[in-house]
Chains A and B, each alone.
Chain A
Amino acid sequence: MTSRTPFLIIVFALIVAGISSIYYRHVEMGVPLTAGEQIDIWQIEAEIEFTGKNEPVNAKLTLPKDPKFELVDEFTASPAYGVHVFREEDKSEVVWSKRQVQGKQTLYYQASYKHTLNPVKEPAPADEVVAELWSEPYQSSAQTLLNSAIEKSGNQQFLVLQILNVIKSDDQNVALLLSKYSKTEIFVQLMQMAKIPAMMVRGLVLEDSRRNQQLIPLLKVYINNDWQMFDVENGELGDELPILVWQQDSPSLLDVVGGRNSKILFSISHSTQSALQEANSSATEGDFFDFGLYHLPIDEQNLFKGILLLPIGALVVVFLRVLIGLKCSGTFMPILIATSFIQTELVNGVVGFLLIVSIGLIIRSYLSHLNLLLVSRISAVVIVVIGIIVLFTVIAFRMGLTEALTITFFPMIIMAWTIERMSILWEEEGGKEVLIQGGGSLIVAVIAYLMMDNYLIRHWAFNFLGVHALIMAAILLMGQYTGYRLLELRRFKPLAED
């Protein structure tokens, strides 16, 4: 007996490869586990306007760097400008430049963003917070506010909430501070005085069909080991609208050298896209787990969608024969019948199959009287099958039964062989055996069809090639199964009784 170790290693390797490929495709590339999944895509357009002063222009727009969002694609429209997009570790920006600019100018930057699948957690602030002191009497007022807030709160979380409340109230100290600073500035100052890391950022509220929007000032506060955002000016941040943080740390959003009256406005529109389509279009060329399947022409892709269902059918056949013990004629004939069922739909398929086989059997029984040699007889049956299909299609069309037209999808050679085999079986073992084996084949074909036609299984078979490694492993393991088949438990029952 040969060692089982290499076999088990192969099976194990297949399982590992299958699962890791599925994991990679789903988690890293974002291929959804279910076919219909949609993802949100936010399309943001920044419109920059300025007036040229008849001199060289360098317009620099800081681009968003929000770990919660991922850039899908970007696009700039700006006639006769040289455009460069710089992306570096700590900042990214787009720069337009032109030698001579005169009059009113409009530049566009358009980008689509989607939510990142696995947002990287932003790092904790590195340095100890040191508050810069404000001039008097503002510093004293701030200190008074902070002291009373600390008094009324137990921990950092409540302190932040308390300060938020205070800033909104009509406290005298607040009124004094507001005469010089904005709410956001006051808040940052109080946070820093309380040694809580906080910073001002500017972000864009993502709401569908919004035009002429501006970045709003927001506060990012590091509490409970996480950065939290607050909108101090307008009260609480609603959870329903996502916010894209655009500007953080960088001194300016827009920097136009050689122009004046520059301003920037944003428009936002929302769309959904099939998550599958998005994942595949963002897959890099030559991705290892892809084997370039998605870069094939659509026709070939559709062909593969069919071919990649065959392993599912094979799995069903192996399962039904090795584990259940169902009898069917021909090992893989049922899979081919099942693939034609996919084209014809189940009821049409079964009816068509029964029609072709039964009429074929009648004609074949006549052919057997002609004493033909085997090869010519099967060829004759092939032609008869084609004849039956043509006849039915024409009759069905005349009668207006368009469903019956799908009968043409049956593989004719396979049908001819099926008829031949059934006919021999009939002659030798009688009609009963034909019913048992033909029925068995039909049951296997129907079960294989139901599996292969399943929406989810089709999605998995094509989009997660790792599934096929798992099927292979399962088939190999079943090939070593030496236990009883289900139907044997019935067959051998008398032996266990007496």
Chain B
Amino acid sequence: MFDFVSPFKLRERGIMGMNQRNFSYIGRYNDRALYPNVDDKLKTKNLAIESGISVPDLLGVVRFQYEVNRVFDILNEHSGFCIKPAKGSGGKGILVILKTDENGYMKASGEYVPREEVVRHITNILAGLFSLGGAADVAVIEALIQFDPTFKGLSHEGVPDIRVIIFQGYPMMAMLRLATHASDGKANLHQGAVGVGIDIATGKAKRAVQFDRPITHHPDTGKSFADVAIGNWDRMLTLAAGCYEMSGLKYLGADIVLDKEKGPLVLELNARPGLAIQIANGMGMLPRLKHLESLDHRRTASIEDRVAYAKTHFND
């Protein structure tokens, strides 16, 4: 129970705590007025399309209760899709329908749900059940991600995604998040998902943790994490770095997925990314944050220069 470590040791390792994140980085670098750019997924998507950032296709938006049945027209065309609340947080309220057949609508878990369940979910989104503060919301319907075969056997019942922390436009730390049976198909580390630290320079796995403790193999599939390497890593970094210009936020987390056909796509941006990425990487963020703070930012470097800078300076 009282298994504590000395704060000086953490400080020495450059581990950032929640208070420091909130005060010294989020509070100081992220302009409040820019939050809607990332908190409203519909706005994020439109901004991304404007700035040439690849995102999953937008199939439709349900704004009013009477439009709810429109989703079934979309479903007829696409067979599967993903319904999200525009203002949801922490992955709440996302319903993924993989395919439609005579049994009904199949969720990501393989479970079938009736049509009423889909309607109810959208109604809940519109009422603001998943949005911060319960404000009325809209439902965003997105195309499904086609899994890239790189991740075969690495994720259980969920889409693996790559979280990249971008500070002042420089990709700074990354991790691959893999759903497990324990996490119930979700990619949140505190719920039991596996976090794999990724070397910014190479895109290769460094180490993996589940419930904050190191592991070497996926608990459900038994696949080793040792030789995981993310393909198209430069493209991934360029996409992440571009999120800085797009959102205007200086301290930012980007969730990126790898689509079989379209390559890396930005799924979601986060103005308050969590700190578990430090555990997955086995290192603190502060040295890199301090390093980037000391750079001259009067003239913004190009995306390519920033990616190149990160790759040379942040190799492990």
Contacts and interface: CB of A to CB of B under 8 A. Distances in A.
A374 B93 CA distance: 14
Nearest to A371: B120
B7 A490 contact: no
B137 to A, nearest CB: 10
Contact of B10 (A325, A481, A492, A498): A492
A340 B124 CA distance: 32
Contacts of B120: 371
Give the interface residue-count category, chain A: 20 to 34
Given A424-B129, A494-B213, A496-B9, A488 B18 contact: yes
Contacts of B10: 484, 488-489, 492, 495-496
Nearest to B21: A482
B7 A483 contact: yes
Interface string A20-36: 00000000000000000
B20 A482 contact: yes
A233 to B, nearest CB: 72
B28 interface: yes
A322 interface: yes
A81 to B, nearest CB: 73
Contacts of A480: 23
A428 interface: yes
Interface in A423-482: 424, 428-430, 479-482
Contacts, number: 85
B315 interface: no
Contacts of B191: 429
B283 to A, nearest CB: 7
Contacts of A491: 212, 279
Nearest to B4: A489
A493 B283 CA distance: 12
A247 B296 CA distance: 84
A373 B120 CA distance: 10
B141 to A, nearest CB: 20
A120 interface: no
Given A325-B18, A371-B120, A489-B10, A495 B23 contact: no
**Which of B6, B19, B120 counts the most A-chain CB atoms under 10 A from its CB?**
B19
Given A374-B124, A494-B279, 12 more contacts: A482-B24, A488-B17, A490-B3, A492-B10, A492-B15, A493-B4, A494-B213, A495-B13, A495-B282, A496-B15, A497-B5, A498-B214
Interface of A: 1, 322, 325, 371, 373-375, 424, 428-430, 479-486, 488-498
Interface of B: 3-7, 9-11, 13, 15, 17-20, 23-24, 28, 92-93, 120, 123-124, 127-129, 134, 184, 191, 209, 212-214, 278-279, 282-284
